[in-house]
């Protein structure tokens, strides 16, 4: 097993995750099987309880793991499916060690960060790498070198480097090259952060420099000299127009050849599907405007996978998809403003929790239903579509979901098997479940098969007591998992499609999610 360990310096938000994922992509292009591990030094066990407002989207894996959004980038760039063990957090590591201590596994020893915590980290890394059957395992260490939280992880990878064969573990350090007022590229922050790394006993093999402009030859030489690497091991990762262009940049800079040569490996092939995808993206013509009516609109990262899924669908459909973030509460404060939705080619209501903004979202759904504007509803976006339909078509004016308000017409409700669970983080239906699609429905036409597997993250369901009545009035449930309704669509509408699952987690740059593609295509009609 070969390991590529990615650390970050100078400051957070440099795009370390994208850099690491792009490295993985160019190694795949050369014929190697790559997997990825994200280390998050926070104490939370996982991202399940974290607010998307603070931390960006909670990404859901096929096994139901609720993880950092970087795992989503890995799945998209590497075109793989990961499981929860690929996200290692301080919380998971300490919990495991403390459980072992309580069981007496440490035979009376004093349990310490070194060796017990570091051993647990290494064990987890090795196990995950082995189970993935990959040739190369990327390990991204969250945070910035020098943070207190990441110290045990840096020490663990230092030990890993010592224990494995010398040519099997490489370190990539991602840093910043700022420019001064005269436009000169400054290397001091990089020098300092590499110095900090070396104080911990780690030496970078490749230095990836983030910069507004391409990093110049003499800047690279200076970094090489001060940081003790050959000049070709200093890679320019300047700002790209789109994150999917970063792999091409790194490839041009010779990063793949360099890494492989250091691993004593040969390129096995020269796969060009990624380049072709980027080419299609560049040559797209026309733009469609999508209005995304949500809650966490201040932080676009809260809906990262949705944004990417729209992009993927655009690449396939040959157009540029422009997401417009609309705060649902605007329609509550100012009901007339819902008419501003007429400027969009399509309306999307994403998933969410809690009552805030839901009445505004219902108003937006009502507007797109009545005005025949393409609508895509995801998870809460489907539940609210059912509520809107029950209120305005069936005439149950107080129809609602008990999550949002007490009601005599709970068209969305907990199914009996879910009612008695209370423990946070244990109550949700998470990860992969199948749905059976109705032949002849829009769902069936979009997917082209009658059985699909998609990822979930929800507690509430369409209440089976109302299904017949809703269907009789024109909204059809065309995807089902026994008594659970997975898809609701309105056949009469140009495109009114909503899912209890989250199709955005399985969309890939080269393989857009069918509901997203259908949504975008319906706007081009
Ligand atoms: N809050 C809703 C539920 O728990 C929807 C969840 C979601 O949109 N992810 O069922």
Alpha carbon separation from 334 to 245, 339, 362, 413 (Å, rounded): 41, 11, 14, 29
Q: What is the DSSP string of 208-235?
A: EEEESSPPPHHHHHHHHHHHTS-GGGEE
Model pLDDT, residue 299: 67
Tally of CB atoms within 10 A around 487? 29
Looking at residue 420, its pLDDT comes to: 53
Output the pLDDT for position 14: 87
Question: Do the strands 429-437 and 476-481 form a parallel or antiparallel pair, or are they unpaired?
Answer: antiparallel
pLDDT < 50: residue spans in the chain: 422-425
Q: What is the pLDDT of residue 28?
A: 97
Per CATH, 2-277 and 284-524 having the same topology is answered: yes
Distance 458 CA to ligand 1 centre (A): 4
Bridge-based pairing of strands 412-413 and 461-462 is antiparallel
Q: For residues 481 and 285, is the Cβ–Cβ distance under 8 A?
A: no
Q: What lines the ligand 1 site, CB under 6 Å?
A: 351-353, 379-380, 383, 403, 457-460
CB 130 within 8 A of CB 225: no
Catalytic residue, chosen from 155, 253, 379, 489, is 379
Q: Which atom of ligand 1 is nearest to the CA of 461?
A: 10
- Residue with the smallest CA separation from ligand 1 atom 9 is 351
Mutate to test the pocket of ligand 1, among 457, 486, 488 (most ligand atoms within 8 A of CB): 457
Domain locations in the chain as residue ranges: 2-277, 284-524
CATH numeric code, 284-524: 3.40.50.880
Q: Just give the CATH number of 2-277.
A: 3.40.50.300
Q: What pLDDT, on a 0 to 100 scale, did the predictor assign at position 423?
A: 47
Whole-number Å distance, alpha carbon 484 to ligand 1 midpoint, is: 14
Distance 173 CA to ligand 1 centre (A): 38
Mutate to test the pocket of ligand 1, among 47, 51, 379, 484 (most ligand atoms within 8 A of CB): 379
Q: Which of 122, 124, 129 is nearest to 157 (CA)?
A: 122
- Predicted pLDDT at 412: 97
Q: Residue 506: what are its φ and ψ, rounded to 5°?
A: -110, 5
Percent helix / strand / coil, the chain, rounded to 5: 45, 20, 35
Is 458 designated active site? no
Distance from the alpha carbon of residue 380 to the mean position of ligand 1, in angstroms: 5
Q: Read out DSSP for 321-351?
A: EEEEEEETHHHHH-GGGGGGGGG-SEEEE--
Active-site residue, 379 included:
yes
Closest-CA residue to 11 (of 141, 172, 143): 143
Residue 424, pLDDT score:
47
What token pair was written down for 192?
């300092």
Nearest atom within ligand 1 for CA of residue 381: 8
Cα 303 to ligand 1 centre (Å): 14
Which residues 6+ apart lie within 8 Å of 157 measured at CB? 3, 5, 125, 139, 141, 169, 171, 202
Q: Are residues 396 and 387 in contact, defined by beta-carbon separation less than 8 angstroms?
A: no
Who's near 503: CB < 8 A, 6+ residues apart? Answer: 309, 378, 454, 513, 514, 515, 516
Tokens in use for 235? Answer: 């890679």
Please give the DSSP secondary-structure letter assigned to residue 497.
E
Q: What is the pLDDT of residue 51?
A: 78
Residue 47 has a pLDDT of 81
Alpha carbon distance 430, 306 (integer Å): 18
pTM score of the predicted model: 0.94
Whether 502 sits among the annotated catalytic residues: the reply is yes
- Ligand 1 atom closest to Cα of 502? 9
Cα–Cα distance, 72 to 17 (Å, whole number)? 10
């Amino acid at each position: 097993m070969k390991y590529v360990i990615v650390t970050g310096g100078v400051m957070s938000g440099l795009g370390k995750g994208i850099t690491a994922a792009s490295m993985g992509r160019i190694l795949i292009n050369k014929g190697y099987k790559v997997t990825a591990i994200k280390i998050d030094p926070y104490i939370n066990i996982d991202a399940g309880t974290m607010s998307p407002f603070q931390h960006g989207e909670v990404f859901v894996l096929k096994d139901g793991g609720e993880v950092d959004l970087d795992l989503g980038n890995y799945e998209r760039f590497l075109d793989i499916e990961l499981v929860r063990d690929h996200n290692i957090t301080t919380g998971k590591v300490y919990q495991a060690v403390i459980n072992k201590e309580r069981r007496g596994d440490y035979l009376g020893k004093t349990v310490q960060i070194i060796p017990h915590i570091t051993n647990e980290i290494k064990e987890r890394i090795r196990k995950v790498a082995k189970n993935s059957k990959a040739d190369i395992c990327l390990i991204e260490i969250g945070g910035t070198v020098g943070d207190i939280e990441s110290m045990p992880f840096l020490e663990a990878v230092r030990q890993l480097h010592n224990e494995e064969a010398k040519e099997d573990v490489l370190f990539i350090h991602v840093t910043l090259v700022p420019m001064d007022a005269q436009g000169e590229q400054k290397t001091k922050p990089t020098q300092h952060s590499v110095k900090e790394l070396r104080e911990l006993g780690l030496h970078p093999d490749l230095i990836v420099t983030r910069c507004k402009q391409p990093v110049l030859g003499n800047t690279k030489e200076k970094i090489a000299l001060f940081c003790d690497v050959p000049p070709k091991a200093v890679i320019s990762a300047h700002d790209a127009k789109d994150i999917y262009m970063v792999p091409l940049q790194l490839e041009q800079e010779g990063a793949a050849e360099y890494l492989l040569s250091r691993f004593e490996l040969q390129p096995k092939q020269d796969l060009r599907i990624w380049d072709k995808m980027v080419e299609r993206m560049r040559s797209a013509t026309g733009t469609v405007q999508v209005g995304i009516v949500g809650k966490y609109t201040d932080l676009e990262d809260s809906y990262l996978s949705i944004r990417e899924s729209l992009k993927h669908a655009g690449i396939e459909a040959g157009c540029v998809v422009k997401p417009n973030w609309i705060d649902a509460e605007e329609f509550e404060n100012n009901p007339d403003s819902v008419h501003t939705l007429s400027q969009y080619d399509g309306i999307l209501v994403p998933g969410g929790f809690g009552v805030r903004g839901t009445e505004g979202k219902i108003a937006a759904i009502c507007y797109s239903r009545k005005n025949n504007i393409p609508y895509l509803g995801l998870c809460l976006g489907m539940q609210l579509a059912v509520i809107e339909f029950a209120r305005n078509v069936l005439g149950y004016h107080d129809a609602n979901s008990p999550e949002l308000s007490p009601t005599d017409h709970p068209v969305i409700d907990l199914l009996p098997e879910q009612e008695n669970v209370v423990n946070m983080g244990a109550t949700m239906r998470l990860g992969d479940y199948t749905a059976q699609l109705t032949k002849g429905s829009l769902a069936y036409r979009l997917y082209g098969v009658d059985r699909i597997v998609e990822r979930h993250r929800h507690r509430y369901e369409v209440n089976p007591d109302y299904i017949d009545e809703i269907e009789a009035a024109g909204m059809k449930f065309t995807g089902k998992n026994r008594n659970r309704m997975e898809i609701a669509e309105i056949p009469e509408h140009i495109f009114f499609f909503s899912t209890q699952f989250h199709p955005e987690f399985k969309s890939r740059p080269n393989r857009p999610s069918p509901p997203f593609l259908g949504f975008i295509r319906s706007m081009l009609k």
